[in-house]
Amino acid sequence: MERQKALAQTKIASAQEDAEERRKQVSELQEQVLTLQQKLTATEQQRKKLHNELQELKGNIRVFARIRPGDNQPSVLEVEEEDSRITVRGGGGSHAFKVDKVFPPLSSQEQVFSEVSAFVQSALDGYNVSLFAYGQTGAGKTFTMFGRGEQEGIIPRSLAQILQDAEEKRGDGWTVELSASFLEIYQENIRDLLEEGEGKQHKIVQGPRGRMEVTELREVAVSSREDLDRIIRTAEEHKTMARTEMNERSSRSHTVFILRISSSNASSKQLLHGTLNLIDLAGSERLDRTQAAGVQLKEAQAINKSLSALSDVFLALSKKLAHVPYRNSKLTFLLQPCLSGDGKALVVTNVSPDPSSWHETVCTLRFASIVSSCELGKATRHVSKMQADNAGDASGKEEDMQTPRKKSNDVMRTSSSSITTPQQDRDVRPSSASRPPSSASRLRTPSASRLRPPSASTPQRR
């Protein structure tokens, strides 16, 4: 009995030694894995840095592709996520495309924004920045830009980041002022989405600091997330929407959210001016699929025409033509600074994997290829020195810029520049409906949204 007990104790001790040795080996392997993960993270950060430097040299145009989840049909898309390649199989052949980043169907809103956030930061650093969502109707552009419920899109996430970063800059001795506008371009007519009963005729003019301005456009001071949420809700209330055969909630206009950022530092006497343009483009439409008629037919024609003008601009840029037709549409004329080498641009193309949409998907990715081939040169950072008597005011005079901007809690601005749109860009006169007087700092609380049914005879704003 004693011998058996001693033998068992020996075995237990041996097993404990083996277990301790294995624990040491596991610990060493875990340390090796952690080291390799750190090296991988550092390598990935270095790769992104080099990629960003290459993009800076190329001209600050990025192109992403996001694939909408399918409708329980075989997908016509093959994705090589690591190489950012998409192959479309349809029409008896295959079509391969390469972009800067591909988001597969199950990509979350967080994953998409993680690739966008550094781009948004550039606006706070004094650059003119534009983010576009492009694609056929029903491909998920509005979901990408605005989101749904708790799945916030690029626009609310961008604004939340700007507010957070602005607060951090204030802690470093900066004064940061934010103001926002929201407009839509409906059949080449500019409408202010922050005004009720819109009846003014807006023009695009050349403003200070290389920015395009829209006359009589309401500009609202922003200091909190609540301000931004209220602005977005009001714009959504007024945005022109309709139901089509392809989309229950189809945007009938291009919407442009404009955030102007002015930062000053009293110690360094430095003044920064950046602009963030967030653009939700109306979807390209094939009339045989949307069954558009009446007003919707005119809307579809205007949408396709303006998207064609945008393609013409990028095509001219890719070919380095001497003349770029910015003035052929309100959209491209308004965004000319960001598309002409002065700023940075990011295009998120949204595509459908459904077999019935393979042709539209190919057209969208061809547009992406054209954009990706553009080279604008290094973007301009809008930075200047403040005069001594305005060292604490981000909106004060500058040594090299003579037009001061007046700020208030709710600004209705009209630029005094004499540069206006050409004949082909002349605004369509809005309806004669009168606008009720607006208070100095009021945004209307939106009511339940109303969608215009197919073949409605008159356009409505939600």
Q: Which residues are annotated as a binding site for ATP?
A: 135-142
As a whole number of angstroms, the distance between CA 259 and CA 276 comes to: 5
Tokens in use for 248?
């229950």
As a whole number of angstroms, the distance between CA 325 and CA 327 comes to: 5
Angle 157-144-149 from CA coordinates, rounded to 5°: 65
List phi, psi (to 5°) of 204: -95, 125
Among residues 305, 306, 294, 288, which one has the least CA distance to residue 245?
288
Annotated binding-site ranges = 135-142
Quickly tell me which residue has 């095509």 as its tokens: 315
| CB distance 205 to 415 below 8 Å | yes
Task: Report the length, in residues, of the chain.
Answer: 462
| CB distance 69 to 105 below 8 Å | yes
Name all contacts of 397-403 with Cβ < 8 Å and 24+ positions apart.
398/271, 401/208, 401/209, 403/207, 403/208
| CB distance 331 to 306 below 8 Å | yes
3-state secondary structure of 275: strand
Task: Provide the total of helices (H) and of strands (E) in the chain, helices listed first.
Answer: 10, 20
3-state secondary structure of 381: coil
> What Å distances lie between residue 31 and 20, 21, 43, 231, CA to CA?
16, 15, 18, 50
Tokens in use for 221?
């001071």
Among residues 278, 62, 280, 262, which one has the least CA distance to residue 158?
278
List phi, psi (to 5°) of 413: -110, 145
Angle of helix 358-372 relative to helix 295-318, nearest 10 degrees?
A: 40
